[in-house]
């Protein structure tokens, strides 16, 4: 039998339909968009340290109060992650990311006219913070859907956007401040972040339809074939606009549809409905936000890992320039240290993606090793006392940070944590839990600095959080395989029990009853 499968050409605003995860295709465009989004979100956040001294002088505020700007921004970004998941599932990733880009740019532009640090809390902290959430999380989620075998490598390479941004933005903003001042420099950054809106327009949704849905069934019963040929026209076509696939059958391959058309009038509707409705059933089944991931002990441990590890993500990049200035290092050389950290992070992300792309390999264990080594890097900063010592620590920290920062969210898609099916909801809940550490991390470091009058003490709180994160990360795999194995079996049995009543078993009982009655009647005769 012959079959023609015609792919409907879709405009840029329509979904991409594949029979399996493409591991490429339009996914490369999405990867480029994620690269730019990373540069204009986390890249700007990590480069914000170049404004610290200017803000302290302009507003006459302490270091800890200025650090609350980034703390509130990171908190809002991560705390509203479930909202980002809900909006993405409801309105699509493209629209949400574009709206996020507008919010980020608006907050930064207004912040350039701020007169008090409280104005900064509202503009950068709340408005831009919400925009960061709506921009980053949907982009990394849809990128993971476009790749399977290459997911770790592609995500790691695309996430280097923030590293290149820090490498280029830190010296560029420093030079720009010398020419036009920090306010116009901040205004320029806000205008540049409008590029996130353009990147959001490239995020086409993706639909994965199983091969069986477009494949003709083999002929089974000749009686049904005969019946259908007598009662149906010689040509039947089934077309689905939603799925983007058209299947055309001719008299030579009509037997392939024998099971679906045993009647004269209803078969056409019955034959069309399964194909046309293939794209609609998932809508009611997909929850806007699935909190069932909170019942998985492996995910709980992984979420606590993210909570404590976040303490060490932002503070080093924020305090590396003030630390270098306190050690007598010039402004230009301080910017070079931050840029070197960013370049090292690029290599760390690529290296982690390359290693995690190897098979067979247990990715969660590789992540654990990287977290332990990252803790060592944080403990090394207080021992640096001059330029080259600080440069060495920054390069080592940047490399190890890249191995962790570029992979900890994509690892949610692995079966050791929650899997690709529940990644969207899991990412929202995971980042939400991270928000509390993002809020507390920089202020805790700022309090330590104000108390000890030593910027190196800020790195101790980061190192302590990273060590606790390593402990919880080490528990993820045991929880998945051992501690919660029985609960998973119970859930599988419950789901099987729920599905059983849907089977049409009643007519079997009726037939058995009739057979028994007829048997008794024959016996009495």
Rounded CA separation 94/323 (Å): 40
Residue 497 CB partners (closer than 8 Å, separation 6+) = none
* Domains defined for the chain, CATH in brackets: 16-210 (1.20.1250.20), 289-493 (1.20.1250.20)
How many other β-carbons are positioned within 10 Å of the β-carbon of residue 126?
17
Helix, strand, coil in percent for the chain, rounding step 5: 75, 5, 20
Rounded CA separation 92/80 (Å): 17
CA distances from 172 to 51, 166, 491 (A): 12, 10, 55
- Asked if residue 498 has a cis previous peptide bond (ω within 30° of 0), the answer is no
Are the CB atoms for 225 and 254 separated by under 8 Å? yes
Please choose, from the candidates 107, 112, 103, the residue with its C-alpha nearest in 3D space to the C-alpha of residue 136. Answer: 103
Rounded CA separation 304/473 (Å): 8
* Block residue for tokens 């332990």: 372
Q: How many helices (H) and strands (E) does the chain have?
A: 24, 5
Please list the pLDDT of the chain residue by residue as tens digits (525 residues): 333 333 344 444 566 677 677 777 888 999 999 999 989 998 888 788 788 888 988 888 887 788 888 888 888 887 888 888 888 888 888 999 999 999 999 999 999 999 999 999 999 999 999 999 899 888 888 888 888 778 778 888 888 888 788 778 878 888 898 899 899 999 999 999 999 999 999 888 887 776 554 444 555 554 444 444 444 444 444 333 333 333 333 444 444 444 444 444 444 444 444 444 444 444 445 566 666 777 778 888 888 888 888 877 766 777 787 888 888 887 778 878 877 887 888 888 888 878 877 766 778 888 889 899 999 988 888 888 888 888 998 899 989 888 887 778 777 777 777 777 777 777 778 877 877 877 777 778 778 887 888 887 788 888 888 999 899 988 888 887 765 555 556 666 666 666 555 555 554 455 555 555 555 555 554
Rounded CA separation 81/74 (Å): 11
């Amino acid at each position: 039998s012959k079959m023609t499968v015609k792919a409907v050409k879709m405009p840029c605003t329509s979904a991409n339909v594949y029979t399996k995860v493409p591991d490429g295709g339009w996914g490369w465009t999405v990867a480029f968009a994620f690269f730019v989004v990373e540069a204009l979100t986390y890249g700007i956040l990590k480069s914000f340290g170049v404004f610290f001294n200017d803000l302290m002088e302009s507003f006459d505020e302490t270091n800890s109060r200025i650090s609350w700007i980034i703390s509130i921004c990171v908190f809002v970004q991560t705390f509203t992650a479930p909202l980002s998941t809900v909006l993405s599932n409801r309105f699509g990733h493209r629209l949400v990311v574009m709206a996020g880009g507008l919010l980020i740019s608006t907050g930064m532009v207004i912040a350039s006219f701020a007169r008090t640090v409280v104005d900064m809390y509202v503009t950068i902290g709340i408005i831009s913070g919400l925009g960061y959430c709506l921009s980053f999380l949907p982009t990394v989620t849809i990128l993971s859907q476009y790749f399977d075998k290459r997911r770790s490598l592609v995500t790691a390479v695309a996430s280097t956007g923030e590293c290149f941004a820090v490498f280029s933005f830190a010296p560029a903003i420093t030079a720009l401040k010398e020419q036009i001042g920090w306010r116009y420099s901040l205004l320029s950054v806000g205008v540049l972040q409008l590029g996130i809106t353009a990147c959001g327009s490239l995020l086409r949704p993706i639909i994965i339809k199983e091969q069986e849905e477009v494949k003709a069934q083999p002929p089974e019963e000749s009686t049904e074939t005969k019946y259908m040929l007598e009662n149906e026209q010689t040509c039947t076509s089934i077309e689905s606009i939603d799925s983007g696939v058209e299947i055309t059958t001719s008299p030579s391959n009509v037997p392939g549809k024998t099971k679906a058309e045993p009647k004269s009038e209803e078969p056409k509707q019955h034959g069309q409905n399964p194909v046309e409705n293939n794209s609609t059933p998932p809508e009611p089944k997909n929850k806007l936000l699935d909190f069932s991931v909170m019942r998985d002990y492996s995910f709980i441990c992984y979420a606590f890992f993210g909570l404590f590890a976040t303490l060490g993500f932002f503070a080093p990049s924020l305090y590396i320039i003030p630390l270098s200035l306190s050690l007598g290092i010039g402004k230009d050389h301080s910017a070079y240290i931050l840029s070197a950290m960013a370049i090292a992070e690029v290599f760390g992300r690529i290296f982690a993606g390359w290693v995690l792309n190897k098979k067979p390999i247990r990715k969660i264990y590789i992540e654990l090793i990287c977290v332990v080594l990252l803790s060592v890097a944080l403990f090394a900063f207080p021992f640096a006392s001059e330029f080259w010592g600080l440069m060495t620590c920054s390069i080592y920290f940047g490399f190890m940070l890249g191995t962790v920062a570029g992979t900890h969210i994509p690892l949610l898609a692995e079966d050791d944590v929650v899997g690709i099916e529940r990644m969207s909801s899991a990412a929202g809940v995971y980042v939400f839990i991270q928000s509390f550490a993002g809020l507390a991390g920089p202020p805790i470091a700022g309090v330590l600095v104000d108390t000890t009058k030593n910027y190196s003490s800020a790195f101790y709180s980061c190192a302590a959080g990273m060590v606790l994160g390593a402990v919880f990360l080490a528990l993820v795999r045991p929880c998945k395989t051992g501690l919660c194995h029985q609960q998973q079996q119970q859930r599988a049995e419950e789901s099987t029990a729920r599905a059983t009543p849907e089977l049409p078993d009643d007519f079997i009982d009726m037939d058995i009853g009739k057979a028994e009655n007829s048997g008794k009647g024959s016996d009495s005769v």
